[in-house]
């Protein structure tokens, strides 16, 4: 018995399998920063269970977004902490909701994020 004439390459069959087994490369383009926004002014409260993360008011959040923009972080994801919670989650779709306020402020203060809200990856 000699060397096989056919080399089976089961880990190279298709692009999906090749993508699963290839080397991992991480760049700044792959990063998304979670930001937690709450009502108020001048608030930057640490989150004990998440060291390095803070609950911030909209004014502090825009400062953070500018800094992230300068570092080349391409995306942020916002988590809102509303003043009042209800069973319907009405703060999520209210015109003056905390996330809506944050998006408007970020769009005004950061050049990188598009002005068209449909293209803002927040």
pLDDT tens digits, one per residue of 89-115: 888 888 899 999 999 999 999 886 655
- pLDDT value at residue 8: 64
Q: What is the pLDDT of residue 1?
A: 61
Residue 118's pLDDT is 45
Render the burial of 40-50: b for 16+ CB within 10 Å, e for the rest: beebeeeeeee
End-to-end CA distance of the chain: 60
**CA angle, residues 107, 110, 112, in degrees to nearest 5:** 100
pLDDT at 119: 46
- Global pTM exceeds 0.75: no
Instruction: Point out the residues of the chain with pLDDT beneath 70.
Output: 1-4, 6-8, 10-11, 112-122
According to the model, what pLDDT value does residue 111 have?
Answer: 80
Q: For residue 15, which phi and psi values (nearest 5 degrees)?
A: -60, -35
């Amino acid at each position: 018995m000699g060397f096989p004439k056919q080399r089976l390459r089961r880990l190279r069959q298709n692009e999906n399998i090749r993508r699963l087994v290839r080397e991992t490369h991480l760049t700044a383009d792959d990063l998304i920063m979670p930001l937690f926004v709450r009502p108020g002014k001048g608030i930057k409260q640490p989150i004990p269970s998440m060291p390095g993360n803070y609950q911030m008011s909209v004014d502090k959040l825009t400062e953070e977004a500018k800094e992230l923009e300068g570092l080349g972080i391409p995306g942020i994801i916002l988590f809102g902490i509303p003043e009042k919670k209800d069973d319907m989650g009405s703060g999520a779709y209210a015109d003056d909701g905390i996330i809506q306020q944050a998006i408007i402020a970020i769009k005004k203060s950061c050049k990188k994020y598009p002005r068209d809200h449909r293209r803002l990856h927040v």
